[in-house]
Amino acid sequence: GLALLPQLAVGASIAIAAIPEGLPLLAKIGEAAVARRLAHRHALVHRLPAVEALGRVDVVCTDKTGTLTEGRLKLSLVADLDEEAPPSAKLTARLRTVLLTAALAGPHPDALDAITDRTDVAVIEGARAGGLSDELGLPRDAHSPFDAARAFHAAVVQGRLCVEGATEALVPRCDRVRRGGVEVALDEIGRGKLLARAEALAEDGLRVLMVAEGSPDGPTDDPNGLVALGFLGISDPLRPSVAAAVRRCHDAGVRVIMLTGDHPATARAIAREAGLRNEDDVLTGPEIGELGDLELDQRLERVGVIARASALDKLRIVEGLQRLGHSVAMTGDGINDAPALRLADVGVAMGRGGTEVARQAADVVLADDDFATLVEAFVEGRSFWRNIRRALGLLLGGNLGELALQVGTSVLGLASPLTSRQILAVNLITDVLPALAVALQQPEHHDLAGLAREDASALDAPLRNDILRRAVTTAGPTFLTYALALRSGGLPVARTVAFAGIVATQLAQTLDVGRGEDGLSRTVLGAVAGATGLLAATVAIAPLRGFLGLALPTPFATVLLAAAVLASVLLSCGWVSPWSVSRKGGQLADSPLGSPA
């Protein structure tokens, strides 16, 4: 039996209150802000969706050379089965032959591809340090460049086939070994000694290359009947920041797996120095090729190092980890790494040493090629999820509070506390600036373990609970003060109390959410100050006050408004803080999402 027009007005007000005007802006602007901050930290975001993926990562597969290490490869050792020495003009004739053969097996120093591979550059520079500059320029009559499938270089120079490559690839191709200037036939015991010598060098963290020679009559891409000459040891120091960065990952539940094309012993030594877990559990590329998907998945759950890995191996590794439910970040720098970079949840390319193909395939490019920079990107990614969840809680909780206020008063037969114009004004003040300010906040700290690793599930029960709590802390105090003002001061004053109360309680909660270890952020302070100024203008400026149907608040109404804000703050501090993300544990108190993987 109620009049139709007032009921339609109430319905329109309820519909308006339910619409969060700032919602479409939050995620994209938040991602853009993170990308801007990361650019200042030498991490360039190619695709904005990578920002939220960075916050979900729980496994990072990282290259060794140039990412964990400095990428400054240097030939530090020339060896055979009996002696070893650093490259210099004082090398013995035998070691000089080993070094020269290795240098001639690679590209000519004047060739275009001579500087594209850091290992080739290190060998050429080592040969020059050994006094072999003149011999380096000898013409190559035939040449097979390095190929990951073959794992060796080969070239014919002055009637001699020179070969340099992975020990495991060359030992089976050798039937003799030169010791003391005499060629000795190789049997299985002799081959075992060659492999053991290479492993001993690799255990010192050196990249080990075997050197051999043979007849020029055979094919350079499939040589056999070679004579083993010796080995080269190439060093590449670990970056000083890596051990601490790896420890930060482990503490935060992010597992680090090192991928490298080096010998397993080399990989194990570097992994131990970097502080990787399960560094003794090494999986090799050839072993991956022999494993089915089920067996591979089982190994990937515990492996810490993958050696002799090819581009195809990296692709299978990413697929396997994703099958196991992990969010994977993959680093890479080569053309062949592009498929794995595209498949990973976050593909990360190197800016200095990476190819253009890898950079285009990646989601993020590390301009300084430093693993520690990637860890800072994880901090920003996790902080993005925290900010978005909090901003959504504020935005949707405030709108639900407005809706509850409108519906509650209607059910109780009271006059509508807010008109359609007033609701639009409330949303204009509270929906855009405060929520965006929270979404744009910088990480409150850079302790990765103190930020929860969240995903879309964090927008389910945790967000729902947060919205409900914030709706109650918005609507409850405002309803009580509106009812009291309605009894004592009439409808215009009561609506002014409701209008100011619904805004002020949301701004108070914004201040609570924007509080970090260093106090309130400037963005939150600026947004709250701006919104407060707008609120004051709507009440103080007569034309605005008349347009919105507000009245000057009485002293009693001002007291009621202050009480509403105080009650909202107390409720917010009492209810929200215990449920917020632990600043040190990196977990959501009401969700297992933050638990380390």
| 99 in Cβ contact with 132 (< 8 Å) | yes
Which residue blocks in 18-49 are alpha helix, DSSP H? 23-40
Q: Are strands 207-214 and 226-235 parallel, antiparallel or unpaired?
A: antiparallel
As a whole number of angstroms, the distance between CA 459 and CA 479 comes to 28
SS3 content of the chain, % helix, strand, coil (to 5): 55, 15, 30
DSSP three-state, residue 88: coil
H helix or E strand, kind and range, residue 177 = strand 174-179
Nearest to 20 by CA among 330, 428, 502: 428
DSSP secondary structure, 416-450, as one string = PSS-HHHHHHHHHHHTTHHHHHHHTPPPS---GGG
Residues with Cβ within 8 Å of residue 87, at least 6 apart in sequence? 75, 76, 77, 78, 99, 126, 127, 129, 130
Give backbone dihedrals phi and psi of 528, rounded to 5 degrees, phi first.
-65, -40
What are the CB-based long-range contacts (under 8 Å, 24+) for 184-188?
186/228
Residues with Cβ within 8 Å of residue 407, at least 6 apart in sequence? 14
In 353-382, which positions are buried (b, 16+ CB within 10 angstroms) versus exposed (e)? bbbebbbebbbbbbeebbbbbbbbbbbbbb
- Give the residue numbers marked as catalytic: 63
